[in-house]
């Protein structure tokens, strides 16, 4: 406490400023529309190293010290769906396979569960690629029931999602709690060609004499086969390609990008995770 330390973080000041400014600007707009108690977080990772390049823990640090990136645990929603289709591909299914998007119900203990799609519509026979790209709830549930919830839970654990899992069909809708940091680390597996790399913000610490007293050891592991990751990644690019048409190529980023949204009941928690070849971002 008194002799002083040199602490090397992974943060990039330029990216941090851009993240802070963008987050604040968008939150001001959202708070004006939805209320002043709205809050959130944002994290940016180097996709290859897992280094945290920017971290915004909330709208106003002076009013709340709670870090919504590392401390808040929220339902992950549809962010889990890439894992479901990854397991499907591992079990011999393909994105060209089709399934019927139709009214669906399950009865358990005299209770009827009737999940719906986000747009409240059913789209008939669709490919699994369409289902993932358009985040179909019905097809995700049917796919989970085919491959088994346990297989999806095992993959989620390999992606270091640290939560209590249950083998319910609602797992397909992301009814598990996780942090934004964990969610970004999971999605980054697809950006990093199937290799999990631990998000981290410290590189090393030296004492006042320049002696290194701490160096970060990063947890890494291949968790998904490369050829399967490539297929999932291609489908995750389709959503942003649709959005790109709305904005026009001249107002768009110049590199390839993929993304996934996640929304819980009544839009109480909204996720957006995206990646370019070099950075993965979650908000």
Q: What integer best gives the mean pLDDT of the chain?
A: 95
Asked whether the beta carbons of 102 and 117 are under 8 A apart, the reply is: no
Confidence of residue 3 (pLDDT cuts 50, 70, 90): confident
Spatial separation of the C-alpha atoms in residues 88 and 206, rounded to whole Å: 47
- What is the tens place of the pLDDT at every residue in 31-84? 999 999 999 999 999 999 999 999 999 999 999 999 999 999 999 999 999 999
Confidence of residue 1 (pLDDT cuts 50, 70, 90): low
Local structure of 154: helix, strand or coil: helix
pTM score above 0.85: yes
How high is the pLDDT of residue 116? 92
Q: Could you please report the per-residue DSSP string of 157-179?
A: HHTT--S-----GGGGGT-SEE-
How high is the pLDDT of residue 196? 98
Confidence of residue 109 (pLDDT cuts 50, 70, 90): confident
Bridge partners of residue 205, in order along the sequence: 7, 214
How high is the pLDDT of residue 265? 80
How high is the pLDDT of residue 177? 95
Show Cβ contacts of residue 199 under 8 Å, excluding neighbours closer than 6 positions.
43, 45, 50, 52, 181, 184, 185, 188
DSSP state of 16: H
Mean pLDDT of 119-146: 96
Mean pLDDT of 193-214: 96
- The strand order across the sheet containing 258-263 reads 52-56, 42-46, 279-282, 270-275, 258-263
Confidence of residue 98 (pLDDT cuts 50, 70, 90): very high
How high is the pLDDT of residue 231? 97
- Output the six-digit token pair for 3: 């002799």
Confidence of residue 108 (pLDDT cuts 50, 70, 90): confident
How high is the pLDDT of residue 247? 86
Query: Helix 137-147 to helix 81-90 angle, to the nearest 10 degrees?
Result: 40
Closest listed residue to residue 105, CA positions, set 75, 138, 134, 131? 138
How high is the pLDDT of residue 267? 83
Answer whether residue 250 shows pLDDT above 90: no
Q: What percent of the chain has pLDDT over 70?
A: 100
Q: What percent of the chain has pLDDT over 90?
A: 88
């Amino acid at each position: 406490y008194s002799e002083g330390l040199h602490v090397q973080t992974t943060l990039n000041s330029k990216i941090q400023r851009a993240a802070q400014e963008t987050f604040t600007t968008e939150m001001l707009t959202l708070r004006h529309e939805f209320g002043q108690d709205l809050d959130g977080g944002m994290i940016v990772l180097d996709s290859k190293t897992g280094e945290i390049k920017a971290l915004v823990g909330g709208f106003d640090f002076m009013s709340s010290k709670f870090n919504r990136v590392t401390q808040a645990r929220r339902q992950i929603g549809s962010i889990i769906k890439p894992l479901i289709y990854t397991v499907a591909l591992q079990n011999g299914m393909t994105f060209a396979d089709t399934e019927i998007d139709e009214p669906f119900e399950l009865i358990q203990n005299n209770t009827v569960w009737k999940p719906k799609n986000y747009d409240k519509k059913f789209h008939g026979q669709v490919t699994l690629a369409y289902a993932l790209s358009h985040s179909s709830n019905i097809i995700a549930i049917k796919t989970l029931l085919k491959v088994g919830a346990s297989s999806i839970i095992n993959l989620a654990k390999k992606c270091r999602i640290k939560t209590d899992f249950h083998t319910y069909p609602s797992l397909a809708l992301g009814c598990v709690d996780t942090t934004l940091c964990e969610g970004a680390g999971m999605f980054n597996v697809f950006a990093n060609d199937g290799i999990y790399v631990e998000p981290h913000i410290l590189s090393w610490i030296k004492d006042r004499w320049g002696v290194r007293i701490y160096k970060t050891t990063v947890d890494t592991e291949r968790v998904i086969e490369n050829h399967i990751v490539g297929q999932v990644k291609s489908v995750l690019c389709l959503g942003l390609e649709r959005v790109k048409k709305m904005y026009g190529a001249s107002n768009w980023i110049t590199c390839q990008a993929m993304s996934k949204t996640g929304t819980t009941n009544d839009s109480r928690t909204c996720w957006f995770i995206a990646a370019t070849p070099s950075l993965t971002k979650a908000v």
